[in-house]
Each structure stands twice: as structure tokens, then as C-alpha cells.
Amino acid sequence: MMLLLSLCSLRTLLLLLLTLTSVGHSKQQCRLVLQSNFNGNGEGDPQVPLSATPTSSGSTASASATLAPFNYGKDIIRGVNLGGWFVLEPWITPSIFEDTNNSDIIDEYTFGQLQDSEHALSILQDHWETWITEDDFAAIKAAGLNHVRMQIGYWSVPITSTDTNYTTSVDPYIPGAWPYLLQALGWAKKHGIHVILDLHGAPGSQNGYDNSGQRGSANWAQGSNVARTLDIVRFIADQIGGMIDVLELLNEPGGYQADIAAVIADYWQDGYNVVRNVSGPSLKVMIGDAFLGVASWDGFLTSPDAQGVLMDYHEYQIFNYDQLEMSQDEHLNYSCSVLSTLRSYAKSNLYTVSGEWSNAITDCAKWLNGRGVGARWDGTWQDGQPTFGSCDGYTGDSSSFSDDYKTFLRKYFESQIAIGEAVQGWIFWTWKAENADDWSYQKGLEGGWIPKDPTDRLYPNICSDS
């Protein structure tokens, strides 16, 4: 760790000094509207404005700017994920991986492991500075969105030995994203955007996907990894709890794996307690269904035993063959069936957010299933399985999209925001991608299949029977 810090460029050190001054100066004072106010009869408490956060150029977000309170459970979350920024995903930024000229570099773990650390840090710093900028926050606000969900890996959280009894080593990961995160929080405040901070990668990997930082085995439930993760959550809540609206305790833990299923409920409970002990009632807490379905969490962390908890549900229709074989109309109907399920859960349990979904109806985006891995859709993923045709015209540059396909993408978009609008909100995955326009909110706005005002509807009754 000390070696990596000594290799940090002057720009990162200056940014760190500027941004750390904002940490801990203010705590948000707001609460989740009580479950009894599900239909919008309750009001949230006022929120203390966030303190200004310096930018890398030395200017600050307007000191007079305030972020109005967000009434969770009354107002609808309409947001977008900033995927691939602080946690690399090969399919979002394939060029970063291609430029390594090493096909064994398949995730952020091997990105640090199989390269010179100083070179890897330089590449990451350039990515952190350019992938998402303040202009993106301005564009997100202009698009009528009120939230961003930002991802962070445990290796980027600068926890020290005074904060934990467990190891603080993150080798071979390359740390350094934290000051860029702080800068982003300043931009969000300046542009009036609320923030869900999502712990996207945990020690040992919570799901074995490259989006956890390490592709392969999911070993999070082993050894001290869970306890170590709780200390990381405590550090985040203590250091920047006043700069974010919601802290998501962990993204997509693999509850389909027996050892993770055995510990995840206790982790959610312990994580909730950690946040409440550090931040009091002000900071909202988000959990997920751990691939077990929301029905598995009936009565869990509900009022009066807990308060300020939201459920994050991810809805993709492309990672199983039975989903891929659906017709376009069947995809729309499937969305509407999810709406009914989530609305039923939210009415008697936690406020619920459709926290990840996209416009894709194929898994054709390059490396979506992992670097060097093909697609189920065209049979390049695995031999002897069903195929559904060519990937041409379904992903990549939208100049290849037909008018009929764009019309469908608009319908599909509206069917999925109908899910979020029926509960407490939605967050699209993702704002931008290098070469997968069906996954890009930014490109959808440009192409017209995503409206410039998210409340505009061409198909307002698309799920009217749900």
C-alpha cells in the first residue's frame, strides 16, 4: 500500500488534499417516510445542505447551493447508474482491457496483478478523470433525473489499521479512486442530484462476476471477509455518510451459493446496525434480494424494527435462454409481471427500487459475459445450446439500429420505468458504454428511444392491466 501511495501522481495528491477537507463536515438530516405513509401522505424531515466540495481545479461547488430533501416513498427516484467508473467492467470500457495486450487481464483484480503497478495506476487515473466528468452530471440533471447510483470497490476505500482489526491490504488491486469519488459527490450536490453509493465489490468477491472486481470464485463468505466488509461500511458511513443519501451495503451478493445464502441476512442486519450506530437515522440503507427474489425477504428489516431501509431489485431479461427466446411483446409482458410482483412486496415491506435494468434484449454486447466470452444469442458463448440469430443491429453503434428496433426500445424503456414508477423508483444501467448503445442512457437520449423528459410517455398504458 505504501509503495502505491508513493507512486501516486501529484494530481491525485492535490485532489485528495482538496477533497478530504469536505469529509465529515456535515451530515444529512432526513428520514425515510414511514411505511404507513406509503401512499404519499407523510413528509420527510428537512435536510441540512451538504458542505461544498472542492473540485480538482481548486474551485468549489457553489457554497450557497442546497440540495432539497428527497421524500423517499413519496417522490419517485428516477436515476442512472455510473457503471464502469470506479469499478472496471470489460464490456463497458473494452478499450482499457484491449490496450493491455494481455488477454489474461479480465477484471480489475488482474488489471493490477498482471501489470506494473505504476503503469496501471496511470491508466486508472486517466480513466477516473475522463470517463465521467462534471458535464455528465449536468447532462443527467438536464435529462430530468434526480439520482445517480455510484459504484465503489472495497479496494478504493482508504481504511487504515485504526479502523479495523483485519488486514487493510488490497493487493493486487490499485487503490486511488477515493478522491475522485469525493469530487463526484461535490458535482452531484452542485447539480442537485441525490446519490446512492453502492459497495460494488467486497473482499473475496460476493458473486464471482467481473463486476465485483474479481471474476471466478465467490469467496466472500469465507474467513474474515464479511467482518472486514462491515468495517468498510462503517468507515464509509462515518467519513462520507453526510454527503450521500443512501448507502447500499453490497451489490448482488450471490445468494444462489449456499455459503453466501447462509450469511447474507445477518450481514444485512449487521450492516444496518453499523450504519445506524455511526450515522443515526439520517442515512438511508439499501439491501438487495441476493438473487433469491423479494418474497424471500418478507418482513425483513421492516418498521418498527428498522427504519430507512430500501430494497434494490435488478431486472434483466437476457442472461437465461428462456428469456432470450422471448418475443419482443413477451419481453414487454414480462416487465409488467415484474411490476405486479414488486408492487405487492413494496406495499407491505420495504420501499423498493428497480436499481438496475437496461434496454438490451440480447447478451450481444462485446464481453458482456466476460472478457473473451461470447454471447448466448449467436451461439458464441457455448456449443450445443440454442441460438437466436445474428447480433448485428442489436447492440454496438446505434447507427445500425433499424427504425422498428428503435420503436421497440422506446416501448421496452417505458415498460420498465413503469415498474419503478409503480414502486419507489428506477435507476437505469448505465449512463454510458463505449460500444453498447442499447445499454447507454446517454445514447438513448441522442437516439430518441429514451425521452429527454422521463415523465413523457408514448405508451402510457403499456402495463395498464398489471
**Mean pLDDT on 219-241:** 98
pLDDT of residue 69: 79
**Which of 252, 315, 414, 421 is flagged as catalytic?**
252
Stronger pLDDT, 67 or 229, i.e. the higher one: 229
Count of structural domains, the chain: 1
**Is residue 293 one of the residues assigned to a domain?**
yes
Task: Compute CA distances 293 → 252, 255, 310, 313, 315, whole Å.
Answer: 12, 10, 15, 8, 11
**Is residue 363 one of the residues assigned to a domain?**
yes
Termini Cα distance of the chain: 53
**Is residue 325 one of the residues assigned to a domain?**
yes
What is the DSSP annotation of 384-401?
TS------TTTSS-GGG-
Residue 356 annotated among the catalytic residues of the structure: yes
The helix (run of H) or strand (run of E) holding residue 456 is: none
- State the CATH number of the domain containing residue 260: 3.20.20.80
Under a CB-based contact definition with an 8 Å cutoff, are residues 370 and 214 in contact? no
State the Cα–Cα distance between residues 19 and 14, nearest whole angstrom.
9
**Is residue 148 one of the residues assigned to a domain?**
yes
Q: Of the ranges 68-82, 352-366, 428-442, which one carries the lowest mean pLDDT score?
A: 68-82
User: Could you report the per-residue pLDDT of 388-417, keeping only the tens digit for each?
Assistant: 999 999 999 999 999 999 999 999 999 999
If you average pLDDT over every residue of the chain, what do you get? 88
pLDDT of residue 59: 30
Under a CB-based contact definition with an 8 Å cutoff, are residues 111 and 175 in contact? no
Give the rounded percent of residues in the chain with a pLDDT score beyond 90.
84
Closest CA to 15 of 102, 129, 166: 129
User: Could you report the per-residue pLDDT of 266-295, keeping only the tens digit for each?
Assistant: 999 999 999 999 999 989 999 999 999 999
State the Cα–Cα distance between residues 263 and 249, nearest whole angstrom.
14
**Which of 134, 248, 315, 356 is flagged as catalytic?**
356
User: Could you report the per-residue pLDDT of 344-360, keeping only the tens digit for each?
Assistant: 999 999 999 999 999 99
State the Cα–Cα distance between residues 178 and 319, nearest whole angstrom.
32
Question: Across the strands, what pairs with 196?
Answer: 149, 246
Confidence of residue 66 (pLDDT cuts 50, 70, 90): confident
- Helix 10-20 × helix 117-130 angle, to 10°: 50
- Predicted confidence (pLDDT) at residue 88 exceeds the cutoff of 90: yes
Look at residue 75 and give its three-state secondary structure. Answer: strand
- Helix 10-20 × helix 178-190 angle, to 10°: 50
Stronger pLDDT, 422 or 64, i.e. the higher one: 422
Q: Which residues contact 278 (CB under 8 A, 6 or more apart)?
A: 234, 237, 238, 241
- Predicted confidence (pLDDT) at residue 296 exceeds the cutoff of 90: yes
List the alpha helices (DSSP H) in 173-305.
178-190, 225-240, 258-279
Grid coordinates belonging to 254: 450471490
**Residue 406's domain spans which residues?**
77-447
Rg (CA), the chain: 21
Confidence of residue 51 (pLDDT cuts 50, 70, 90): very low
pLDDT of residue 466: 61
State the Cα–Cα distance between residues 364 and 381, nearest whole angstrom.
10
**Is residue 8 one of the residues assigned to a domain?**
no
Phi, psi of 400 (to 5 degrees): -90, -5
Under a CB-based contact definition with an 8 Å cutoff, are residues 7 and 118 in contact? yes
- Helix 134-142 × helix 178-190 angle, to 10°: 40
pLDDT of residue 31: 23
Q: Provide the residue type at 49 as one letter.
A: P
- Predicted confidence (pLDDT) at residue 310 exceeds the cutoff of 80: yes
State the Cα–Cα distance between residues 340 and 327, nearest whole angstrom.
20
Closest CA to 248 of 285, 214, 274: 285
**Mean pLDDT on 119-140:** 98
| Helices vs strands, H then E, count in the chain | 13, 8
pLDDT of residue 372: 97
pLDDT of residue 41: 30
Do you know the residue count of the chain? 466
**Is residue 126 one of the residues assigned to a domain?**
yes
b vs e for 319-330, b when ≥16 Cβ sit within 10 Å of the residue's Cβ?
Answer: eeeebbebeeee
List the alpha helices (DSSP H) in 208-284.
225-240, 258-279
**Is residue 311 one of the residues assigned to a domain?**
yes
Give residue 204's region: left, alpha or beta (phi > 0; psi -120 to 50).
Answer: left
Phi, psi of 388 (to 5 degrees): -125, 0
Count of CA atoms in the C-beta half-sphere (13 A) of 212? 20
**Is residue 97 one of the residues assigned to a domain?**
yes
Residue 248 annotated among the catalytic residues of the structure: no
User: Could you report the per-residue pLDDT of 6-47, keeping only the tens digit for each?
Assistant: 334 434 444 444 344 433 333 332 222 222 233 333 333 222
Under a CB-based contact definition with an 8 Å cutoff, are residues 241 and 247 in contact? yes
pLDDT of residue 65: 55
